[in-house]
Amino acid sequence: MAHRLLTVQEAARHLRLNPRSVYLLAQRGAIPATRVTGKWLFPEHLLEEWLETSARRGERSRPPAGRPIDVPGALFVAGSDDPALELLPDVLASGGALLFTATVGSTAGLRAVGEGRADLAWAHLVDPDSGEYNLPHVPRYLSGRPAALVNFFHRDLGLVVWTGNPRKLAGIADLGRRGLRFVNRQPGSGTRHFVDTALAAAGVAAGAVTGSRDEVSTHWAVGLRVLRGEADVGVATRAVAHALSLGFVPLTRERFDMVIPKDVFFRPAVQALLEAVRSDRFRRRLEGLGGYDTTQAGRLLAEVP
């Protein structure tokens, strides 16, 4: 099977970096790349393996401190997926911070931070008993590493369906209907955690949902499966449904946070990220995607001892 080779521009979009940063990393040999007739090319499958391996095991070029990427001034972030993450490279470009993101799910992201293999994590894990996001879960994964919980944004999560919602789906319990094809998120992701919890609360066995084992790792992948007619419904953000002109049935407005260990909180790159998240430019662009609330963006919500 032929593997796709990405140009510098395509690799920059894939890694959510600005092109100059990708070019610099390729020159240093810090990312998988090859030079053909004077042009840098990046095997897409190797970039994916490099990011996911770095987040899960930190086995590639692992420095003594445990971070998988040894690039001065770089931030390695592991955790949840959201279309808004694609806005960060442009907002951060002027600040000079290199941001690497591995979308491995909320729990894997928190675990990577706890083991010192990531600088911070994106997370949106809800506690079904209290309704609180992230705070009840963080101590379990950070192994006593003190951290700050900073809000990134709030977002609308719901059922992504065909335009006009021809199946007349109204809620999570409808996923148990016979003949309905569902596309699920991968285990360990915050969205999968939400779906599993909501199905249990609705009295629907996961095994009764056709497609419960048909898993993808991003919100865009959920939307594209529905758009191509390969699934009737999936759970993703309103922004994805809006961008793909699909229908959307809201289920919840959830909180999406940054979990930042205190020993990295005041690094210049982390402060540049927080400044970008609080900026009017980022807020305007995020709200333009649809389904986001930036009222608390960049605000310190809690500290985890």
Q: For residue 241, what is the domain's CATH number?
A: 3.40.190.10
Q: What integer is the mean pLDDT of 160-188? A: 96
Tell me: pLDDT of 93 over 70: no
Strands (E), the chain: 5-6, 34-36, 39-43, 74-79, 98-103, 120-123, 147-161, 182-185, 215-216, 233-237, 247-261, 292-293, 300-304
**Domain boundary residue, one of 35, 65, 95:** 65
69-73, 143-147, 183-187, 228-232: lowest mean pLDDT where?
Answer: 69-73
- pLDDT score of 12: 81
Q: What is the pTM of this model?
A: 0.78
**Domain boundary residue, one of 253, 270, 298:** 253
What pLDDT, in 10s, does the model give residues 134-158?
Answer: 999 999 999 888 999 999 999 999 9
Tokens of 295: 């009222």
How far apart CA 269 and CA 97 sit, in angstroms, is: 5
**Domain boundary residue, one of 9, 36, 65:** 65
Q: Provide the CATH number for the domain around residue 4.
A: 1.10.1660
Q: Is residue 204 part of a domain?
A: yes
Q: Is residue 92 part of a domain?
A: no
Identify whether the C-beta of residue 259 lies closer than 8 Å to the C-beta of residue 190. no
Please give the residue range of the domain that contains residue 187: 157-253
Q: What integer is the mean pLDDT of 17-46? A: 76
Q: Is residue 288 part of a domain?
A: no
Q: Is residue 131 part of a domain?
A: no
Q: Is residue 81 part of a domain?
A: no
Q: Is residue 163 part of a domain?
A: yes
Q: Is residue 278 part of a domain?
A: no
How far apart CA 143 and CA 115 sit, in angstroms, is: 8
Q: Is residue 120 part of a domain?
A: no
266 CB contacts (<8 Å, ≥6 apart)? Answer: none
Q: What integer is the mean pLDDT of 94-111? A: 83
Q: How many domains does the chain have?
A: 2
For residues 128-153, one letter each, b for 16 or more C-beta atoms within 10 angstroms of the residue's C-beta and e for the rest, the string is eeeeebbbebbeebbeebebbbbbbb
Within the chain, how many helices (H) and strands (E) appear? Answer: 11, 13
